[in-house]
């Protein structure tokens, strides 16, 4: 059997007869829907009334999905409205995941919601409709957790320049920290190593030896 990875899917049963405290769950996980920040996603909804699949959408004008800040539910973060749907959805098609009344296709740019420097943000997702007669109907709502994935949020690492050190150089610069200063020490930002033969302190400089950048005595200097 061939298996491929699709874009993120959230599938929810929206029941207009449920209490306001009954939040929708993701059918795939049976849990509160979750979403990585900035990914392509499709949110699939099936319309129900008292747990019965709605089979007559003749009085529906539009169906709208809104994502808002969970704290106030007034700050609108994303909205999407559809005026086309699959009116022929049956129970079998809904249960096997092949059909749904409406699909809200969200791009990565649309779900790139500001998380305010947090690792995740709790949002409020609500599905509503407007009837042909102009009546506004809130079908159902739920919490939505948007999680920072960390992808694509940092710039490329800087080029190696004079003010950057290789791992070998960094390791060498840590040597004096563990010592007592008897054999090597810093002075004026320069690392010196004591040469017992000449009883002198010799400065080390960054040199390329056999193609590797290392800290070594200056040219012509022998420890």
Per-residue three-class SS string for 78-95 = EEEEECCCCCCCCHHHHH
Task: Kindly list the domain boundaries of the chain, sorted by start residue.
Answer: 8-147, 167-217
User: Per-residue pLDDT for 24 more than 80?
Assistant: yes
Measured distance CA(68)–CA(79) in Å, rounded: 9
State the pLDDT at residue 85: 93
State the pLDDT at residue 52: 97
- If pLDDT is split at 50, 70 and 90, which confidence band does 202 have? confident
- If pLDDT is split at 50, 70 and 90, which confidence band does 192 have? confident
User: Per-residue pLDDT for 165 more than 50?
Assistant: yes
Mean pLDDT of the chain: 85
| Chain CA centroid to CA 83, Å | 30
Distances (CA, A) of 69 to 33, 73, 75, 159: 15, 5, 5, 40
CATH 2.70.150.10 for domain 8-147, yes or no, is no
Cβ neighbour number for residue 57 with a 10 Å cutoff: 17
Q: Cβ(44)–Cβ(12) under 8 Å?
A: yes
Task: Give the angle 67-76-18 at the CA atoms, nearest 5°.
Answer: 45
Give the rounded percent of residues in the chain with a pLDDT score beyond 90: 62
DSSP-based three-state secondary structure for 162: coil
Q: Where are the alpha helices (DSSP H) in the chain?
A: 91-95, 167-173, 175-178
Q: Who contacts 97 (Cβ-Cβ below 8 Å, separation ≥6)?
A: 11, 27
State the pLDDT at residue 159: 60
State the pLDDT at residue 76: 94
């Amino acid at each position: 059997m061939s298996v491929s990875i699709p874009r993120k899917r959230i599938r929810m049963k929206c029941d207009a007869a449920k209490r306001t405290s009954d939040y929708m769950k993701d059918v795939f996980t049976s849990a509160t829907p979750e979403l990585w920040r900035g990914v392509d996603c499709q949110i699939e909804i099936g319309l129900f009334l008292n747990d019965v699949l709605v089979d007559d959408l003749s009085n529906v004008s539009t169906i709208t999905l809104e994502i808002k800040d969970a704290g106030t539910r007034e700050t609108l973060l994303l909205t999407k409205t559809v005026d086309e749907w699959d009116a022929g959805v049956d129970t079998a098609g809904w249960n096997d995941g092949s059909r749904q009344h409406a699909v809200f296709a969200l791009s990565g740019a649309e779900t790139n919601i500001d998380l305010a420097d947090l690792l995740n943000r709790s949002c409020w997702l609500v599905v509503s409709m407007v009837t042909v007669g102009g009546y506004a109907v809130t079908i159902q709502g739920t919490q939505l957790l948007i999680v920072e994935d960390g992808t694509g949020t940092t710039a490329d690492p800087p080029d190696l320049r004079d003010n950057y050190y290789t791992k070998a150089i960094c390791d060498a610069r840590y040597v004096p920290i563990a010592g007592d200063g008897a054999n090597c020490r810093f002075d004026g930002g320069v690392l010196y190593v004591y040469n017992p033969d000449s009883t002198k302190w010799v400065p080390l400089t960054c040199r390329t030896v056999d193609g590797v950048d290392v800290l070594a005595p200056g040219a012509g200097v022998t420890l």
